[in-house]
Chain A
């Protein structure tokens, strides 16, 4: 038996195995760490969501959140309006009450105003449509418009069933908004669910 040879071989492979395990663990930890860094250092932004049955949020299931800034009228906003499906875009947001509003959509990242934030998203679709536009007084006009569907990676939210029961359930008519933290790269992470402006569910590390 060549004891030296047989002893060295598993060690070499063992150390490679250790490196593999460490790399895998580090990647998984980085996923959590990046999100936590976003929550702690990001700009808090309140986003309005399109009407959703409030109770479905608290029944221990995935909720598909549809944001107001998920449908943007790009012909009216500042920035680029010749966007195409699949493109990465930067959406300029300015504070509003109760929710923040999109003011521009850009291909290249704009410099955020001191009070604003820039959110990164991806174009799902672009459509030429007919939009209602309120004119003077109560009259409305139908005008051609250009709408982009944009997703930001914060569209699904999972509420654990056990916790959902503990929370006070909002009733119909109460307003639900989502507060996200937007980091320097423009990546958002959901930090709280607001009911009538008050945080109902706050996200943390554990």
Chain B
């Protein structure tokens, strides 16, 4: 505990004052050679440890890093402006020569930076190379009247970025590749006859090995966001194509979110996987709450018959898998987050079998379950020492209570009374919840 606190205080100092870091690496080198002589560490590990300590020098987002990136962007912008101004007068050979020179120039600059051990600048130049590769695809497409197929062009560009992310290996290139993969999916899916654009998945998964192996947390977040985008866009496309009613798709979406939450929860039981489990749990928890909250809106129900058996069956199947995982996790370490989410989603999915004439009953039950689940979520967040869960729980609880008030009393009350009571409710809710939240969060700090 004491060591962790000390390290936490020193790390920012090491980043702020490079000479401190140099001193630390120098000291480490002396110590390591002594430890190696005494047989405390293996000789073959010494280089790897020193390399890692040296690489820890540059905090992501440090000034030289940002300047190198900014420089790369400026050079790229300048090159593009120059080309745009002189494009008309240039022949094909000249255009191709400029393009190749820019591409190889960027890689040569990257190599030169590597030689002087300026890794950040080298990586920025490598990224510039990836950007120029994309520009090259577009320019060659224009010069040679290649078939106008934007998704294919973006996919090719994304593959270039994937190769760069693997070869370097570069976290920034991985982030860029994931953004390009998402863009490709966004362009290609609406044009495709496929209801679910499955080709996205293998290309997306191609980025996972380096992310997991190298523990790139920023790229991992981008990968999760990209996967969430895939799920949301796919569900919206299915809705707009009238493949299923919005409620059916939201039920399936909430079941999927519960499944991902369970997966995250199971991962968190494996110590080495904890850093990857937490963001997955958070994304999935937010998704499940959003989907169930939408389902709990009275205005969302159009009074149609109960859910379609096919979609409800799919949701139930996914939910069963989630349930199995959540029960296993609960028995493993009495972790209730996944299980609670599965129960809440089960109520939402269960509403699908309630006949339309009793729809209001199902809706009331779902809203009750939602409020109970949110209270449970706050308690679980507190038990787990997890500020994110506590804050998310409070936010969702406040929004749900206000929404319930609007749903229930808008038609019943006189308008002036409605607003006055509503105002008082907002003030009271805000005051009580914020006090309670601070109390709990304060408790978390002390507990830690």
B-binding residues in A (CB < 8 A): 2, 5-6, 9-10, 13-14, 16-21, 23-25, 27-28, 31-32, 35, 60, 84-87, 122, 151-158, 160-162, 187-190, 203, 205-206
Contact of A10 among B107, B117, B144 (CB under 8 A): B117
Decide yes or no whether B126 CB sits under 8 A from chain A.
yes
Against A, the Cβ 8 Å flags (1 = close, 0 = not) of B90-113 are 011100100110011001001100
Decide yes or no whether B299 CB sits under 8 A from chain A.
no
Complex A-B, nearest 8 residue pairs according to Cβ-Cβ distance, in ascending order: A153-B147, A86-B193, A21-B107, A10-B114, A16-B167, A24-B133, A206-B92, A5-B47
Contacts of B50 in A (CB 8 A): 2, 5
Q: A10-B114, A86-B191, A206-B93 are in contact. Are A20 and B167 (CB under 8 A)?
A: yes
Residue of A nearest to B173 (CB): A20
CA distance A14 to B160 in the complex (A): 17
Contact A28 B145 (CB under 8 A): no
CA distance A31 to B144 in the complex (A): 9
Nearest chain B CB to A8's CB is how many angstroms away?
A: 9
Contacts of A187 in B (CB 8 A): 147
Contacts of A16 in B (CB 8 A): 167-168
Nearest chain A CB to B346's CB is how many angstroms away?
A: 36
CA distance A86 to B197 in the complex (A): 12
Against A, the Cβ 8 Å flags (1 = close, 0 = not) of B64-96 are 000000000000000000000000110111001
Contact B144 A35 (CB under 8 A): yes
CA distance A35 to B142 in the complex (A): 12
Decide yes or no whether B141 CB sits under 8 A from chain A.
yes
Contact of A6 among B117, B133, B144, B147 (CB under 8 A): B117
B112-149 contacts to A, CB under 8 A, are 114-115, 117, 122, 126, 129, 133, 136-137, 140-149
Contacts of A32 in B (CB 8 A): 96, 140, 144
Contact A86 B147 (CB under 8 A): no
25 A-B contacts, Cβ less than 8 Å apart? Answer: A5-B50, A10-B114, A10-B115, A17-B110, A17-B111, A17-B167, A19-B167, A20-B107, A20-B129, A21-B103, A23-B160, A25-B103, A27-B159, A28-B140, A31-B137, A31-B144, A35-B146, A86-B191, A86-B192, A86-B194, A153-B147, A153-B148, A154-B147, A155-B148, A158-B142
Contacts of A155 in B (CB 8 A): 148
Residue of B nearest to A84 (CB): B193
CA distance A13 to B100 in the complex (A): 21
Further pairs besides A24-B160, A27-B159: 13, Cβ < 8 Å: A5-B47, A5-B51, A16-B167, A20-B163, A25-B104, A27-B133, A28-B100, A28-B133, A86-B193, A151-B148, A153-B146, A156-B145, A160-B88
B138-180 contacts to A, CB under 8 A, are 140-149, 156, 159-160, 163-164, 167-168
Nearest chain A CB to B337's CB is how many angstroms away?
A: 40
Contacts of B111 in A (CB 8 A): 10, 14, 17-18
Contacts of B107 in A (CB 8 A): 17-18, 20-21
Residue of B nearest to A35 (CB): B144
CA distance A18 to B141 in the complex (A): 24
CA distance A26 to B92 in the complex (A): 18
Contacts of B99 in A (CB 8 A): 28
Residue of A nearest to B149 (CB): A153
Contact B168 A13 (CB under 8 A): yes
Contacts of A157 in B (CB 8 A): 145
Contacts of B194 in A (CB 8 A): 86
Contacts of A162 in B (CB 8 A): 88-89
CA distance A162 to B159 in the complex (A): 35
Nearest chain A CB to B242's CB is how many angstroms away?
A: 14
Contact A14 B140 (CB under 8 A): no
Contact A152 B129 (CB under 8 A): no
Nearest chain B CB to A90's CB is how many angstroms away?
A: 15
CA distance A189 to B148 in the complex (A): 11
CA distance A148 to B411 in the complex (A): 51
* Central interface residue in A6, A28, A122, A205, by most chain B CB within 10 Å: A28
Contacts of B47 in A (CB 8 A): 2, 5
Contact of B114 among A14, A156, A203 (CB under 8 A): A14
Contact B126 A20 (CB under 8 A): yes
CA distance A80 to B89 in the complex (A): 47
CA distance A14 to B145 in the complex (A): 35
Residue of A nearest to B144 (CB): A35
Contacts of B51 in A (CB 8 A): 5, 9
B279-322 contacts to A, CB under 8 A, are none
Contacts of B142 in A (CB 8 A): 158
Nearest chain A CB to B291's CB is how many angstroms away?
A: 28
